[in-house]
């Protein structure tokens, strides 16, 4: 797990390494060691931690998860389940920055969703945000 953690944290930081090779190596290492519960749990936690703490890496982390999906789809399902739980918790707490970052991450995984996938949810968020903004503007103008 220590090696995977270092590789994932350092992903896309070295100009000397091809990002595609780094992502493939991480995905293969995680999938090849699927039986190691510590590595598996650590991977799930680290993916979501990186999404929240290093937003510029979201596209790269999403690409690793997409490669993991090709090699072992069950792991990707668990990442999606945990990300969904975190989105729900963040919405309930009003932590909109985390919601935005998690939705950006899930948007990077759009290719694995069926049908319209995440776009319907994003459209609902935008519609609600516009409605709230309109309501707030009307309240301000009445004062």
Q: Residue 122 class from Cβ within 10 Å (0-12 exposed, 13-18 middle, 19+ buried)?
A: middle
Mean predicted confidence (pLDDT) in 120-135 = 82
Domain residues for 86? 2-112
Let me know whether 86 and 125 are in one domain.
no
Q: Are residues 28 and 89 in the same domain?
A: yes
Q: Are residues 28 and 51 in the same domain?
A: yes
**Residue 36 sits in the same domain as residue 105:** yes
Is the same domain home to 131 and 63? no
- Please tell me whether residues 75 and 33 are part of one structural domain: yes
Same domain, 86 and 45: yes
Q: Is residue 140 pLDDT above 60, yes or no?
A: no
Q: Are residues 60 and 91 in the same domain?
A: yes
Whether 88 and 52 map to the same domain: the answer is yes
Per-residue pLDDT reduced to its tens digit, 2-55: 999 999 999 999 888 999 999 999 999 999 999 999 999 999 999 999 999 999
11, 50: one domain = yes
Number of domains in the chain: 2
Q: Which CATH number covers residue 70? A: 1.25.40.180
**DSSP letters for the chain:** -HHHHHHHHTTT--TTS-HHHHHHHHHHHHHHTTT-HHHHHHHHHHHHHHHHH-GGGHHHHHHHHHHHHHH-HHHHHHHHHHHHHHHHHHHHHT-HHHHHHHHHHHHHTGGGSSTTTTHHHHHHHHHHHHHHHHHHHHHHHH-
Mean pLDDT of 73-77: 93
Residues 10, 80: one domain? yes
């Amino acid at each position: 797990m220590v090696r995977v953690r270092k590789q994932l944290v350092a992903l896309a930081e070295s100009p000397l390494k091809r990002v595609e090779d780094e992502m493939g190596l991480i995905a293969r290492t995680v999938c090849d060691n699927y039986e190691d519960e510590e590595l598996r749990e650590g991977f799930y936690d680290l993916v979501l931690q990186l999404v929240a703490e290093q937003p510029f890496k979201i596209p790269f982390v999403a690409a690793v998860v997409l490669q993991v999906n090709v090699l072992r789809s069950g792991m990707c399902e668990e990442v999606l389940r945990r990300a969904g739980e975190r989105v729900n918790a963040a919405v309930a707490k009003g932590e909109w920055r985390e919601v935005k970052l998690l939705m950006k991450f899930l948007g990077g995984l759009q290719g694995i969703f069926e049908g319209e996938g995440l776009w319907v949810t994003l459209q609902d968020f935008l519609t609600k945000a516009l409605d709230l903004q309109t309501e707030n503007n009307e309240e301000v103008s009445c004062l």
